[in-house]
Amino acid sequence: MSFLNFLPHRISQRLTAIYFTASSFSFQRRSTSFQTTTMASMTVKKIPALKDNFMYLVVCNETRKAAVVDPVEPDRVLEVVKEDGVQLNQLLTTHHHWDHAGGNEALYQKFRENPEWGELLVYGGNDDRIDRLTNRVGQDDTFEIGKLRVRCLSTPCHTTSHICYYIETDQDRAVFTGDTLFLAGCGRFFEGTPEQMYDALINKLSALPDDTKVYCGHEYSVQNLRFGNTVEPDNADTKALLEKAQAADLEGRRALVPSTIGQEKRTNVFMRVGEPSVQAFVGKSTPLETMQAVRAAKDKF
C-alpha cells in the first residue's frame, strides 16, 4: 500500500483502517448492501445491526452533515461515514435499551480519540440510563441536522423516556420510531400504560402526514403481519403485505422499511384500535381498552 505515503497522514490512516476493516469482513457481511433512500433533501441509509435491529445514518444532502440513530455497532456506522464522506457529529438515541443505546459510549470514545472529527452531540430523552447524553430532549424540542429540521416526539410507554424523531422539509418527511412503532406493530409496554401508547400512536404519530416515511428499530414484519392478519382477516392491505413479507428473503424483508404513516394506519392493528374490526377481535368497545387487550393478545401470540 505504498501509494498511501503520498497522502496526508489522516487520510492515509483512514484508508488503512478501511482496507483492514474491509479485508476482515466475512463474505456474509460484505454481501450485505446497505439499503438507501435518497430523497430530495435527505438521504437515509439503513444499517442492519445485531440480530434484527436497524441503525440509520441520516444525511442532509445540501450540507453533507449527518446524524446516526441508535448506533449500537458504531464501527459499522463509522465505515459507512468514511465511505460516504459525510460529516457525522450527532447521535440520536430513541431509548436506553442496550440494543439501541449500547454503542453511545464507544462512539463517544472514538470521537475523543479523533479530536479532528469535532464534537459529538448525543440527543435522547431525559434519562440517566442513556450514556453520554449532551442534549436532553422532550416533546416538540427541535434541532437541525445541517438544513434538516428535527422535531422530537415524546412517546413514553415502551420506556419512560422514549423519543421519536420527526424530520420535515419542504419536500420530505421521515420519522424514526425506535421501539414505539414498528411495521405493523408496536413495542411492549415495559414502563408505561395503554393510555401512553394510545397517545403516542394515535395522537402523535397518526397525526403526521400520511406520506411520512417510518423508520423503525427492528425488522419484525412477518411476526407482526401474521398477528395483524389474525386480528383482521378481511383486511386486504394486511394480507397483501403479509404475503409479500413471507415470500421475501431477509434483504427483502428489510426493504419493507421504510413504511409510511398512511400504510400503518391501514395495516397496523395498534394504529387501528378505533376500528370496529379490531375492537370486535378483543371484545372491547373503546379504543383504550382495545389498545390494552390487543397488546395483551400480541404478547401471547
Nearer to Zn ion, 97 or 173 (CB): 97
CB of 122 to Zn ion, least distance (A): 18
**The C-alpha cell of 189 is what?**
409496554
Active-site residue, selected from the candidate residues 95, 96, 162, 172: 95
Nearer to Zn ion, 179 or 219 (CB): 179
**The C-alpha cell of 253 is what?**
424483508
d(CA 205, CA 287) in angstroms, rounded, equals 16
CB of 179 to Zn ion, least distance (A): 4
Please confirm, yes or no, whether 128 is among the known catalytic residues. Answer: no
DSSP, residue by residue, 224-279: HHHHHHHH-TT-HHHHHHHHHHHHS-HHHHHTT-SEEHHHHHHH-TTT-TTSHHHH
- The sign of the dihedral angle between the CA atoms of 148, 150, 95, 261 is negative
Active-site residue, selected from the candidate residues 97, 131, 140, 211: 97
Question: Under the rule (CB under 5 A), what is the footprint of Zn ion?
Answer: 97, 179
Active-site residue, selected from the candidate residues 70, 96, 100, 172: 100
Please confirm, yes or no, whether 96 is among the known catalytic residues. Answer: no
Q: Which residues pair with 150 in a beta bridge?
A: 143, 167
CB of 158 to Zn ion, least distance (A): 6
CB of 277 to Zn ion, least distance (A): 29
Strand order across the beta sheet in which 148-154 lies: 142-145, 148-154, 163-168, 173-178, 213-216, 259-260
CB of 196 to Zn ion, least distance (A): 15
- Distance, first Cα to last Cα, the chain: 55
Please confirm, yes or no, whether 162 is among the known catalytic residues. Answer: no
d(CA 35, CA 56) in angstroms, rounded, equals 10
**The C-alpha cell of 60 is what?**
442532509
CB of 188 to Zn ion, least distance (A): 8
Nearer to Zn ion, 73 or 179 (CB): 179
Tell the residue number behind the cell numbers 370486535, with chain if given: 280
Please confirm, yes or no, whether 97 is among the known catalytic residues. Answer: yes
Nearer to Zn ion, 59 or 201 (CB): 201
Cα–Cα distance list, 2 to 9, 12, 15, 16 (Å): 13, 10, 12, 11
Nearer to Zn ion, 161 or 267 (CB): 161
Strand order across the beta sheet in which 87-92 lies: 35-38, 42-49, 53-60, 65-69, 87-92, 121-124, 135-136
Nearer to Zn ion, 128 or 249 (CB): 128
Residues known to be catalytic: 95, 97, 99-100, 158, 179, 218
